[in-house]
Chains A and B, each alone.
Chain A
Amino acid sequence: MIWFDTILQGVLLGGLYALFAAGLSLVFGVMRLVNLAHGDFIVAAAYLILLMVTMTGMSPFLAVLIAAPAMFAFGWALQTFMLNRVIGDDVLPPLLVTFGLSVVLQNVLLESFSADSQRLPSGPISTASLNLGGINLGVMPLLTFGSAVVVIIALNQIFYRTALGRAFRATSDDPSTASLMGIRPAGIFAIATGIAFVIVTIAALYLGMRSSFDPNIGPARLIYAFEAVIIGGLGSFWGTLAGGVIIGVAQTLGSAVNPEWQILAGHVAFLLVLLVRPRGLFPRAVD
């Protein structure tokens, strides 16, 4: 029973990792770009929410609703004015630019907010739990997992049910043919990054409410997100959720054996999947 409980906690933790990863998965699916500053943007969004909450005393959930459009605009601008300039056949420029962005962002946060750990105030919800047939599940982890599922469903709906999604898929398959059909790839990329930044904001909410954060934790979140995307298979949103769950379960199982092995166990699970299924469990995109 204790193992079942551990695995369940791991599944719920996986929801958080899937939220970290969903934006990465979207951007990669549409433009084959990996933003190495992804984790740092999640941390930056958490600080933005923290700032709004401490200045006005509003609920973090309300703060996310206000922050999300601003983050969309920021992502759109980042893609339009910086990343679109370096995107292309050569993988080096986008990698190095986003790596530079990651370093700059970490140090801007360090300079603005100091290295002290922060936490978003979440009220009684952070300790509340539900008793389901003898197993206690925290409301917060359940809410995180539920949000991850909603985000994944929403992304799938956008991708496969809307004109925008058709443009995403067309640009993803072949940008030059898509542009012959009246689609402007640069504009499509900017919207995709904007949506990714909305997801980043949602991820930041749960990151900040579930645990403390400081300016230096971004790269580790990027790594978890990356592992979830690769395990799931490039271009599959449900795969990304499955990948997050696998990392989460591996981590909780690892830490049940020895608390020092938590992070290591997640990485080892990733390497094992890479060994057996190099293209991930549910690959969709061909890169």
Chain B
Amino acid sequence: MAHSSPYASLTRTRASRVAGLVALGLAVLLLVLPAFASRGLIQDLFFILTMLTLAQFWNLLAGYGGLVSIGQQAFVGIGAYALFGTVILAGIDPVPALLLSGLAALLLAIPTAYFAFRLQGAYFAISTWVIAEVVRLSVAQWKSVGGGTGTSLPRSATGSMWFTQAIETLFDVRSAAARDILAYWLAVLLAVATIGGLYWLLRTRRGLALAAVRDTMDAARSVGVDAGRMKWLVFLVSAFGTGLTGGLIYLQKARISPDAAFSVTDWTAYVIFIVVIGGIGTIEGPIIGIIVFYALQTLLADYGSWYLMVLGLIGIAVMLFAPRGLWGLFSDRTGIELFPVRRRLTGGLLSHPHHPESKDHG
């Protein structure tokens, strides 16, 4: 179709090509970083990358799917506990057990969606929270992984984890540092795969359908989009990714408790603020958001609860005065999109869309 017509629908822009190259370079830099960087920097970057991944998945849910969940901690927690459960009870190596983290979250997402999709809007939001509480309270009854007080990954499992021996000899570091590097590399891969995967998804037909459902559900339905199926797709994908990230976060921490793994502040409030401040509904938004978030955390590290207060106030201010976030402000003024998903019609008579008069007087 596109070949026979002088018109074509494109999503790429010059900025997006440059951004693609820069992203590729950045990914390579991040991968070789453990050769030079201190352990503290690696840990900080691990935190940044995993929070960024969680933010991207929440953004997929809320920003693209219109599903505002405040129960994502359910998937972080269940992913983490699936990892600890299989490592402690079945003796499986933690690295392959990460896949079970994603699968466990996916399994949990099915009944969660079944219940929560019965409610709309704000009630959907709180029902996801209730379900997260149910899972937290149930897991706290699971005595073989420490019940309410939690447990640690056994030394035998963390010491002989896949790849750690090789990392120890490669960088000449101790086992704990090698585990950090391994977790960091996995976080880099996960973040790159998440951003790349989301960008791909949003540019496919499904992505277009998703945007249509978000913008006007009725109009989308009238052109044949199955809105209910899109909601399920988005919910399951983001549960899987969130569970996988949860498993990875606790693989690095190596210590778990229900209150920490199912914390609404750590895994949902922070994530919401990252997305909202950066710009909801864009891939760039969470990236900007995580930078602001990390900068604030570093600046206000010594002020305890003031930090969350400031974060909350900024979140409210952004929602009131710049609902599309910092990236939205920037993008509106400059027209730059690094990960454009909008289709623009080009070719034929439109080939010089910005200077139509130059053709006439030419």
Residues of A near B129 (CB, < 8 A) are: 219, 223
**Are B130 and A227 in contact (CB-based, < 8 A)?**
yes
CB distance from A287 to the nearest CB of B (A): 7
Q: How many chain-A residues does the 8 Å CB contact rule pick out?
A: 42
A237 within 8 A of B: no
The 8 closest A-B pairs by CB, nearest first: A34-B122, A91-B121, A104-B312, A103-B312, A107-B305, A100-B316, A278-B118, A100-B315
Q: Which chain A residue has the least Cβ–Cβ distance from B268?
A: A99
Closest to A82 in B: B320
- A100, B319: Cα distance in complex, Å: 9
Contacts of A278 in B (CB 8 A): 118-119
Contact A274 B133, CB 8 Å, known A92-B62, A104-B316? no
A267 touching B133, Cβ below 8 Å: yes
- B134 and A274 contact, CB distance less than 8 A: no
Residues of chain A with a CB closer than 8 A to B312's CB: 100-104, 107
How distant is B350 from chain A, measured CB to nearest CB, in Å?
A: 32
- Name 9 A/B residue pairs within 8 A (Cβ), A-sorted: A36-B122, A86-B320, A96-B68, A99-B315, A103-B309, A219-B129, A223-B126, A271-B115, A278-B118
Interface flags, A83-100, vs B, CB<8A=1, else 0 = 001100001111111011
What size tier do the contact residues of chain B reach? 35 or more
- Tell me if B280 and A92 are in contact (CB < 8 A): yes
Also in contact, A287 and B320, with CB within 8 A (given A92-B280, A95-B68, A99-B269) = no
Decide: B137 and A85 in contact? CB cutoff 8 A.
no
Instruction: Report the minimum CB–CB distance from B78 to chain A (whole Å).
Output: 16
A86-B319, A86-B320, A111-B309 known, 14 other contacts, Cβ within 8 Å: A34-B125, A85-B320, A91-B121, A91-B122, A99-B269, A99-B315, A107-B308, A222-B126, A223-B133, A227-B130, A267-B133, A267-B134, A271-B131, A275-B115
**Contact B134–A264 (Cβ < 8 Å):** yes
Query: In chain A, what residue has the closest Cβ to B303?
Result: A111
Give Cα distance in the complex from A111 to B304, angstroms: 9
Closest to A279 in B: B118
Shortest beta-carbon distance from B70 to chain A in Å = 7
Interface membership of A263, Cβ < 8 A: yes
Partner of A110 from the list B121, B305, B313 (CB cut-off 8 Å) is: B305
Q: Would you call A33 an interface residue if the criterion is a C-beta within 8 Å of the partner chain's C-beta atoms? A: yes
CB–CB B122/A267 < 8 A: no
Name the B residues within 8 Å of A97 (CB-CB): 316, 319-320
Query: In the bound complex, do residue A34 and residue B126 qualify as a contact, i.e. CB atoms below 8 Å apart?
Result: yes
A271, B265: Cα distance in complex, Å: 23
Q: How far is the CA of A91 from the CA of B120 in the complex (A)?
A: 9
Known contacts A222-B126, A223-B129, A260-B141; A104 and B134 CB within 8 A of each other? no
Q: Which of B98-151 contact A (CB under 8 A)?
A: 115, 118-123, 125-127, 129-131, 133-134, 137-138, 140-141
Q: Is the Cβ of A107 less than 8 Å from the Cβ of B306?
A: yes
Q: Which residues of A contact B118 (CB under 8 A)?
A: 274, 278
Interface residue from B66, B119, B133, B311 paired with A263 (Cβ < 8 Å): B133
Q: Which residues of chain B from 233 to 289 have any CB-CB distance to chain A below 8 Å in the complex?
A: 264-265, 269, 272-273, 276, 280
A82 surroundings in chain B (CB, below 8 A): 316, 320
Give Cα A103–Cα B266 distance, bound, in whole angstroms. 12
B residues near A85, Cβ cutoff 8 Å: 320
- Please give, as numbers and ranges, the residues of chain B lying within 8 Å of A111 by CB-CB distance: 304-306, 309
Q: In the bound complex, what is the Cα–Cα distance between A107 and B269 (angstroms)?
A: 13
Would A34 and B123 be within 8 Å (CB), given that A97-B319, A100-B315, A263-B137 are in contact?
Answer: yes
Minimal beta-carbon separation of A24 from chain B (angstroms): 10
Do A101 and B316 have beta carbons less than 8 Å apart?
yes
CB <8 Å contact, B319 and A93: yes
Residues of A within 8 A of B319 (CB): 86, 93, 96-97, 100
Contact with B along A200-244 (1 / 0, CB 8 A): 000000000000000000010011001100100000000000000
Segment 238-276 of A: residues with Cβ below 8 Å from B: 260, 263-264, 267-268, 270-271, 274-275
Chain A residues in 8 Å Cβ range of B273: 100
Assess whether A58 is interfacial by the CB under 8 Å rule: no
Assess A219 versus B264: contact at CB under 8 Å? Given A107-B306, A268-B134. Answer: yes
Minimum CB–CB distance from B41 to chain A (whole Å) comes to 29
Residues 1-51 of A contacting B (Cβ, < 8 Å): 32-34, 36
